[in-house]
Amino acid sequence: MTDAHVPRTAAVNSVVGPIPADQLGVVAVHESLLSVVPGAEYAFDIDLDRVTIFDTLAAKLREFKAAGGGTIVDTTGMFHGRDLRLLESLARVTGVNIVASTGMGPEENLGGYFLTPQTNPPTPWPAEKFADLFTQEITEGMVIPRLERRNPAGLIVVEADRAGITPTEVSLVQGAARASVGTGVALSIRWGADAVGDVTYAVNEGLSADRIVVGGCDRVDAVNAGVAAELAGQGCYVAIDHVGSTGPAYIDDAARVALVVDLIAQGFANRILLSSNAIGVAAGLEAVEVPFGFVVGTFASMLRDAGVSETDVRQILADNPRDVLTVRSEKKA
Amino acid sequence: MARVNTVLGPVPAETLGIVAFHEHIGYGMPGSELDSKWWKTPEQKYEETVPKLRRFHELGGGTFVDATGICNGRDVDYYKSLSAKTGVHIVACTGFVGGDTALTHFAKASVEYLADQFIHEITVGIGRSGAQAGIIKVGVSRGGRMTELDKRIYRAAARAAKLTGVPVMTHLAIDAEPAVEIFHDEGLPLDRVVFGHVDDGVNADKTNDVWIAEQGGRIGFDTFGYETELPDPPFWARPRQERLDHFLRFIGGPGRLEMVLASADANCSPLGWPGVKGHTVNYIFDDLIPDLRKAGVDEATITTIFVDNPANFLTLHV
Ligand SMILES: [Zn+2]
What tens digit of pLDDT does each residue of A111-170 get?
A: 999 999 988 999 999 999 999 999 999 999 999 999 999 999 999 999 999 999 999 999
Q: Work out the average pLDDT over B99-124.
A: 98
Q: Work out the average pLDDT over B52-72.
A: 98
pLDDT band at A103 (very low <50, low <70, confident <90, very high): very high
Give the A:B interface size as CB pairs under 8 Å: 95
Alpha helices in chain A (DSSP H): 50-66, 84-94, 112-115, 127-139, 167-183, 195-203, 220-224, 227-234, 253-265, 300-305, 310-314, 320-325
pLDDT digits (tens, 9 = 90+) for B226-278: 999 999 999 999 999 999 999 999 999 999 999 999 999 999 999 999 999 99
**Chain A positions in Cβ-Cβ contact with residue B103 (cut-off 8 Å):** 37-39, 42, 111
Residue A235: how many CB atoms within 10 A of its CB?
14
Contacts of residue A148, Cβ cutoff 8 Å, sequence gap at least 6: none
pLDDT band at A332 (very low <50, low <70, confident <90, very high): very low
Residue B290 contacts A, CB cutoff 8 Å = no
Q: Is the peptide bond before A106 cis (omega within 30 degrees of 0)?
A: yes
pLDDT digits (tens, 9 = 90+) for B137-146: 999 999 999 9
Helix (H) / strand (E) element for A246: namely: none
**Chain B positions in Cβ-Cβ contact with residue A112 (cut-off 8 Å):** 29-31, 71, 100-101
Find, in chain B, the residue whose alpha carbon is nearest to that of A135. B35
Residue A206 contacts B, CB cutoff 8 Å = no
Q: B30 vs A37: CB contact, 8 Å cut-off?
A: no
The total of structural domains in chain B comes to 1
Q: B105 vs A40: CB contact, 8 Å cut-off?
A: yes
pLDDT band at A2 (very low <50, low <70, confident <90, very high): very low
pLDDT digits (tens, 9 = 90+) for A70-99: 999 999 999 999 999 999 999 999 999 999
Q: Work out the average pLDDT over B87-104.
A: 98
Q: Answer yes or no: is pLDDT of A246 > 90.
A: no
* pLDDT score recorded for residue B295: 98
Q: How far is the CA of A141 from the centre of ligand 1 (A)?
A: 33
With beta carbons less than 8 A apart as the criterion, state whether B136 and B118 touch: yes
Helix (H) / strand (E) element for B167: namely: none
Q: How far is the CA of B146 from the centre of ligand 1 (A)?
A: 17
**Residue A22 DSSP code:** G
Q: How far is the CA of B25 from the centre of ligand 1 (A)?
A: 10
Q: What does the alpha-carbon distance between residue B84 and residue A230 come to, in Å, rounded to a whole number?
A: 64
By CB atoms closer than 10 A (0-12, 13-18, 19+), residue A302 is middle
With beta carbons less than 8 A apart as the criterion, state whether B164 and B190 touch: no
Query: What is chain A's mean pLDDT, rounded?
Result: 95
Question: What is the distance, to the nearest Å, from the Cα of residue B127 to the centroid of all Cα atoms in its chain?
Answer: 21
* pLDDT score recorded for residue A65: 98
Q: Which residues surround ligand 1, an ion (CB under 5 A)?
A: B 67, 265
Q: Work out the average pLDDT over A204-225.
A: 98
CATH of the domain at B93: 3.20.20.140
Percent pLDDT > 90 in chain B is 99
pLDDT digits (tens, 9 = 90+) for B286-310: 999 999 999 999 999 999 999 999 9
pLDDT digits (tens, 9 = 90+) for B157-207: 999 999 999 999 999 999 999 999 999 999 999 999 999 999 999 999 999
Query: What is chain B's mean pLDDT, rounded?
Result: 97
How many Å is the maximal CA-CA distance in chain B? 50
Q: What does the alpha-carbon distance between residue A246 and residue A289 come to, in Å, rounded to a whole number?
A: 12
pLDDT band at A9 (very low <50, low <70, confident <90, very high): low
Q: Answer yes or no: is pLDDT of B282 > 60.
A: yes
* pLDDT score recorded for residue A268: 98
Q: Quote ipTM for the complex.
A: 0.96
**Chain B positions in Cβ-Cβ contact with residue A143 (cut-off 8 Å):** 34, 36
Give A35's strand partners.
A282
Find, in chain A, the residue whose alpha carbon is nearest to that of B97. A112
pLDDT band at A1 (very low <50, low <70, confident <90, very high): very low
Distances (CA, A) of A96 to A10, A63, A90: 19, 10, 8
With beta carbons less than 8 A apart as the criterion, state whether A101 and A153 touch: yes
* pLDDT score recorded for residue A8: 53
Q: What does the alpha-carbon distance between residue B24 and residue B88 come to, in Å, rounded to a whole number?
A: 13
CATH of A11-325, one of 3.40.50.170, 1.10.760.10, 3.40.50.720, 3.20.20.140: 3.20.20.140
With beta carbons less than 8 A apart as the criterion, state whether B176 and B220 touch: no
* pLDDT score recorded for residue B231: 93
Give the domain extent around B247: 3-314
Q: How far is the CA of B266 from the centre of ligand 1 (A)?
A: 7
Those of residues 168-227 in B touching chain A at CB distance below 8 A are 202
Which is it for strands B93-95 and A212-214: parallel, antiparallel or unpaired? Answer: unpaired
* pLDDT score recorded for residue A330: 61
Shortest Cα distance from A143 to chain B (angstroms)?
Answer: 7
